[in-house]
Amino acid sequence: MSYEPRTIAFGAELLHQPIAVQAETVQGIHNSLYQQPEIGYQNFQVSKDGIHLTNPGQTPGTISMATYLPDRIVIREEYRPCTVEEFATRVVNVGDTSYRSLGVNLSLAQQFWVRTLVNPRHVNDSRKFVAERFLSGGTSSLDPFGRELHSMGLRYTFLAPEDQEGMYSLRLEPWTQDCRSLWLEVVGQFTRPINSSDLPHLSEHLNSTYEFMTGPALEFVAQFDQK
């Protein structure tokens, strides 16, 4: 069974050795990226939880941000029109510009996440879909709580085979904003260090995380989405 997934968020964390992140240095990174509209950010902000480069959101909940912390760079695009190819371009170029300016030579580990919505074909309420299709006993198994079910979720973690990279975690739960939709998140963790000169390989990790979502994760859901 095939679905039409609606990807609502991409994220990446590039970890490195702890350094002292200077606001002036990140301001220079902001200026460099600003010259490239497709990957740039309009705003620069220093706050207690990091130094942020952001683009203004057109709707509530929209996020376009790069955050600089002592041991990592976090890049997020949420509830914005963005393809996996566009996000890969952003991650590689923001990472390259940032590492050169910060004097970072090695990414110690990387983490990517993809969040997607799908509509089950045979159950209109995703809460009922999760409770009755994934749980032994269905909704009746929740009777001891004596309360109406608002949401629930499942989480799975899969180790990397010997001949492959990446450990993947899958979360699925009803989407509270629309009970017809099922919310899925795949997080890919990669622990092989990458030299700053090899950052284009980051796109391979992102793509494999995305393919885990559109392949095994959705195939898993489809097993329970039957008449």
Per-residue pLDDT tens digits for 149-202: 777 889 999 998 887 889 999 999 999 899 899 999 999 999 999 999 999 999
Which pLDDT belongs to residue 152?
Answer: 80
pLDDT confidence band for 144 (50 / 70 / 90): confident
The residue among 214, 23, 220, 227 whose CA lies nearest residue 114 is: 214
Q: pTM of this prediction?
A: 0.92
**Which amino acid appears at position 108 of this protein?**
L
AA identity, residue 78 = E
Pairing outcome for strands 106-107 and 167-174: unpaired
Q: Name the residue among 11, 130, 167, 6 with its Cα closest to residue 77.
A: 11
